[in-house]
Chains A and B, each alone.
Chain A
Amino acid sequence: MAQMTMIQAITDALRTELKNDENVLVFGEDVGQNGGVFRATEGLQDEFGEDRVFDTPLAESAIGGLSIGLALEGFRPVPEIQFFGFVYEVMDSINGQMARTRYRSGNTKQQPITIRSPFGGGVNTPELHADSLEGLVAQQPGLKVVIPSTPYDAKGLLLASIRDNDPVVFLEHMKLYRSFRGEVPEEEYTVDLSKADVKREGKDVTLIAYGAMVHACLKAADELEKNNINAEVIDLRTVSPIDVDTIIKSVEKTNRVVVVQEAQRQAGVAANIVTEIQERAILHLEAPVLRVTAPDTVYPFSEAEDIWLPDHKDIMEKVDQVINF
């Protein structure tokens, strides 16, 4: 099996599906000759030609609208929004239009679009590059929202997303692009878009996260082990839909939960998960379900981002509280 970084796994998935399906089109700002600002589309234009992999003019709103139109013509667009902070520019196309197309056409039309976009903090970017805005799309019925945390999942989830007949927002945490390698099969495979992954089994407490925070949880779990606390770590992989079954099964075993997100605290994915847990498993809980999140400010100017971002220590602190409740 090949060892790949997450960015390589993503390129690999795009190449695989460009080969498999002539209706797949990859486009966005700088994705052509330049191979994308993170090189996710490196070499793809040379390999598949300018009709399949191409630069767009600089307008996210039109990238969204173009995708909708191409999907109506039977293509499978895989547009890139260069950074997810620019999603506000294309919000109407995503939440207002493509998410509603199946519904408003009375299930006669569909939008098999996969919007790829980098996001996530810790890499010293200017404003509106690093924000965790998955909540904006997770709130919109009609969309699926996928966030891989490993190279293996990135490839399998991206292939599943492109093959899915509903619109998918596929968010790639920038910090994970090149920070480590993992095993990625060369052949094609998919990872189910409705299944969370138990990354580490444990019996004392359940840590639920997605994206880069999965790695913060794993680090916390390693540290906790030293104090004889045995943490289970669940990687949601999709934040819409949520795999409630996997979560509840774990809660019934550990009876204590900490939900972790990089996004701000207010009205986020974590709040939704806490609600699902208390609605379905309140009698299994030995302590309130706690959250680890960033504070409710705008994503910080980069100088303060290291303190602002949640880390494994914040997670350990909350675990301590639920264990000693």
Chain B
Amino acid sequence: MKHVLDSVESKFEMFQILDENGKIVNKDDMPDLSDDELKELMRRMVYTRVLDQRSIALNRQGRLGFYAPTAGQEASQLGSHFALEKEDFILPGYRDVPQLIWHGLPLYQAFLFSRGHFHGNQMPEGVNALSPQIIIGAQYVQTAGVALGKKLRGNKSVAVTYTGDGGTSQGDFYEGINFAGAYGAPAIFFVQNNHFAISVPVEKQTAAKTLAQKAIAAGIEGIQVDGMDVLAMYAVTKHARERAINGEGPMLIEALTYRYGPHTMAGDDPTRYRTEDLNNEWEKKDPIVRFRTFLESKKLWSEEEENKVIEQAKEDIKAAIKETDKYPKQKVTDLISNMYEELPQNLKEQMEEYKEKESK
């Protein structure tokens, strides 16, 4: 009787290009990005870090609602997104608002989503995405469907989804990667392994040593990536996209990362389940710090430039919040009209009832 688990598990090694010190450790896989593109990656990460800080502050002032902090996960979120094209369809989780923003969702709409206004969920024309999924895992099975649709229509684009380490425990996770594998559908499945599902450490989530290895049972490719390394995230995603479009099937990508903040802004207290030491350990791997070091060594980045991005972000956020405040308040009659293509009798009656209530 031959046991294979050890030998299979040990094959999953973390893919990295830029190490913690900002040094290229893997020249062979260095992506072919122009200086401008490298700077754009940095710009997006810095901008998103500011957006996170401001969103947290705005939430505390009661000017935003539901918010899941993103700091620490910029490379994972934005490096992967940078390899996508406009026509790729994104099915994000609740923490993946940055990818939506860089896919074209205006900031004020992201803020409306946070406040719980339906307009935050209305993707503008040409923004190929769903609004963030709240039910963990649901987006994974749906991704198999979007990807199969693309395959049936012969579209040269991919379906892309994100979940967390906790999400890999859901049945939907397995069903999604298995279906996409069975159909050879062009899908990219991301697991942003930030090591905690709210308070539950990933070690309690599964006996598997890596989450990437879960691809094996579905018969698809899986890879573990340094999720704090924006170049590695970009390179792997680019590769997964090319394979998928060439009909080589879906891929599961596990990004090792960390969220610095609380799970959400609704009362989570990370000191109950994480140590200061662990936080410090991860902050040493910070995606922005190491990429800054790299860019500075190539004379592509300066403090001045970074400050410009920070100021720009702050200005944009201020303007967007103004626009959010100005947007007409959501009404119950709006909700009623969003229920069916044609209102059934009960809702027609209720529409009249609430119109009257709202006119008071």
Contact = CB atoms under 8 A, between A and B. Distances in A.
A266 B346 contact: yes
A298 B117 contact: no
Contact of B272 (A33, A125, A298): A33
A128 B66 contact: no
Contacts of B120: 301
A306 B105 CA distance: 27
B115 A29 contact: no
B65 A302 contact: yes
Counting chain B CB atoms within 10 Å of each CB, the highest count among A32, A59, A266, A300 belongs to A59
A175 to B, nearest CB: 14
B347 A296 contact: yes
Interface string A49-87: 000000101110110000000000000000000000110
A124 B116 contact: yes
Contacts of B346: 265-266, 296
A265 B346 CA distance: 9
A276 interface: no
Chain A, interface SS category: loop
Contacts of B121: 301
A127 B354 CA distance: 22
A309 to B, nearest CB: 10
A244 to B, nearest CB: 27
A303 interface: yes
B206 A303 contact: no
A189 interface: no
Contact of A29 (B94, B116, B197, B329): B197
A308 interface: yes
Contacts of A124: 65-66, 116
B307 interface: no
A273 B137 CA distance: 37
A39 to B, nearest CB: 9
B331 A296 contact: no
A298 B200 contact: no
A106 interface: no
Contacts of A265: 346, 350
Nearest to B354: A295
A307 B335 CA distance: 12
Interface in B272-291: 272-273
A37 B198 contact: yes
Interface stretch (B45-53, B150-158, B163-171, B234-242): B163-171
B266 interface: yes
B136 A58 contact: yes
Interface in B110-159: 115-118, 120-121, 134-137
Interface in B320-350: 329-332, 334-336, 338-339, 346-347, 350
Contacts of B331: 304, 307
Nearest to A42: B272
Contact of A304 (B166, B268, B335): B335
Contact of A126 (B94, B169, B332, B334): B94
A86 B350 CA distance: 28
B198 A308 contact: no
A34 interface: yes
A204 interface: no
B357 interface: yes
Nearest to B167: A58
Given A89-B135, A126-B94, A297-B339, A58 B116 contact: no
Contact of A58 (B205, B336, B339, B357): B205
Nearest to B350: A295
Contact of B206 (A33, A57, A89, A300): A57
Given A59-B171, A301-B118, A29 B200 contact: yes
Contact of B200 (A55, A295, A304): A55
A30 interface: yes
B3 interface: no
B204 interface: yes
Contacts of B117: 301, 303
The list of the 7 closest CB pairs from A to B, nearest first, reads A302-B116, A34-B199, A57-B169, A58-B166, A301-B116, A297-B335, A303-B116
Interface of B: 65-66, 94, 115-118, 120-121, 134-137, 166-167, 169-171, 197-200, 204-206, 266-268, 272-273, 329-332, 334-336, 338-339, 346-347, 350, 353-354, 357-358
10 contacts: A29-B200, A35-B272, A37-B198, A57-B206, A58-B167, A89-B135, A295-B353, A297-B347, A307-B331, A307-B332
Given A29-B198, A37-B198, 10 more contacts: A33-B272, A55-B199, A55-B200, A57-B166, A58-B169, A62-B169, A297-B347, A300-B330, A300-B335, A304-B329
